[in-house]
Structure formats: structure tokens, C-alpha cells
């Protein structure tokens, strides 16, 4: 079992990276189901799911909870995951309803993102509720979800920066600012979580 407080910092970042990979490969698998790349994407997805399950189950969540309770912003981070998770999930449901009723038509990439949202966003909500209630496993799961959500926003910001160089479209300044502000909402609790881990570490 992984016990020391400092290890939750790096393990959570790894878990968050795996969540990010899972999100992307769900999208890739849905977007390209009839291509040669589908099989390697599916294999990478299965391997990532297996790796994150083994990583999280190897950590002593009770010991980590005892070290971090009160040192990290549980309710702040949990509330953000619940709130944004609920909004994004409602948006995905609305998009699917619009597609099924014929109000809009989905291209492959759009459907892929919605499919990934349906799988990952409920985990945000579950993790947020667990953090809000300060349950032991949330001290293992929560930081990873904050890191994964932050990576999603960083990925969008990088895309906006590269878009003018790769296509003929102008730089979307308004979208960039909005995504940057939304990203900060997750960057701040993630930073506070890491700070809390380091603070708990210094008391050992």
C-alpha cells in the first residue's frame, strides 16, 4: 500500500494523466471505429483503465486521509467537481437529445467528445461528492480528477494557440480568455491541494 503523504502528490498526478489518456482514447475510439487505428486506441484505452485501477487500489486511502484531512480544500474542490461536472454532463445530455430528435447533426469528433464526457464526467461528480463528504478514497481520487480537468483546459488553450498556424482561422481571443478563466477555476484548487500535501509532509 502507498502510504506517505508526499506520494499522493505524484501518484495523483499520474492518476490524473491516466484519466486524461482514458478521456482522449475514448474519444479516438468513437471517432475512428472503422479504421486501422481503432484497435491500438482500444488497446491503449484498456491498458490505461487497468493501470489506473491498479494504481488507485494500491494506495492506502485511510492513511492518506488521516494525513491530509483539513490540510487540503476538500469542499472547495469537491464543490467545483460537482458543479462543473453537472453542467458538462447536462450539456452532453442536451447534445445527445438534440441529435436523436434531429435538431442537430453530429460529426464524428463531436460525437466522440460527448461519448468521452458521458464516461468521465460522472466520475467528476462522484469524486466531488466523496470529497465534499471527506471520504477516505476521495483523497486519492480527487487530486487526480483536478489534474485531469486542468489538463483538458490546458489542451484547449494549446489548441487555440496553434490553430492559426495550422489552419486559416484567426486566433479565437474570446474563446481563449473564457477557457483560461475556466481553467483557473481548476488550477487554483489543484494548487491548494498540492500545497496541502506539502504542508502535511512538513509536519511529519
Spans in the chain with pLDDT lower than 50: 1-6
DSSP string, 168-197: SPPP-HHHHHHHHHHHHHHHHHHHHHHHHH
C-alpha closest to that of 85 among 142, 133, 31, 137:
142
Find the DSSP H helices in 101-137: 108-132
Rg of the chain over all Cα atoms, to the nearest angstrom: 18
The residue to which cell 494549446 is assigned: 158
| Number of Cβ within a 10 Å radius of residue 134 | 16
How many CB atoms sit inside 10 A of residue 122's CB? 13
What is the model's pLDDT at position 107?
63
| Alpha-carbon gap, residue 64 to 70, rounded angstroms | 12
Angle at 199 between CA 196 and CA 204, to 5 degrees: 130
Three-class secondary structure of residue 59 per DSSP: strand
C-alpha cell at 106: 453530429
* Per-residue pLDDT, 2: 43
**Do residues 48 and 21 make contact, with C-beta atoms less than 8 angstroms apart?**
yes
What pTM value is reported for the model? Answer: 0.85
Q: What is the pLDDT of residue 201?
A: 61
168: left (phi over 0), alpha (psi -120 to 50) or beta: alpha
Amino acid at each position: 500500500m502507498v502510504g506517505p503523504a508526499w506520494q499522493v502528490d505524484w501518484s495523483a498526478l499520474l492518476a490524473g494523466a491516466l484519466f486524461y489518456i482514458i478521456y482522449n482514447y475514448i474519444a479516438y475510439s468513437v471517432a475512428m471505429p472503422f479504421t486501422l487505428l481503432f484497435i491500438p486506441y482500444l488497446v491503449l484505452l484498456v491498458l490505461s483503465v487497468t493501470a489506473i485501477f491498479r494504481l488507485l487500489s494500491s494506495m492506502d486511502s485511510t492513511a492518506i486521509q488521516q494525513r491530509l484531512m483539513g490540510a487540503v480544500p476538500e469542499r472547495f474542490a469537491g464543490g467545483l467537481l460537482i458543479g462543473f461536472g453537472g453542467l458538462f454532463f447536462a450539456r452532453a445530455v442536451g447534445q445527445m437529445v438534440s441529435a436523436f430528435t434531429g435538431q442537430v447533426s453530429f460529426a464524428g469528433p463531436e460525437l466522440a467528445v460527448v461519448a468521452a464526457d458521458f464516461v468521465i464526467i460522472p466520475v467528476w461528480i462522484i469524486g466531488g461528492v466523496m470529497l465534499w463528504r471527506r471520504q477516505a478514497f476521495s483523497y486519492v481520487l480527487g487530486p487526480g480528477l483536478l489534474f485531469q480537468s486542468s489538463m483538458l483546459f490546458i489542451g484547449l488553450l494549446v489548441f487555440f494557440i496553434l490553430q492559426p498556424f495550422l489552419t486559416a482561422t484567426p486566433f479565437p481571443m474570446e474563446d481563449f480568455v473564457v477557457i483560461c478563466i475556466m481553467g483557473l477555476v481548476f488550477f487554483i484548487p489543484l494548487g491548494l491541494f498540492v500545497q496541502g500535501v506539502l504542508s502535511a509532509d512538513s509536519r511529519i
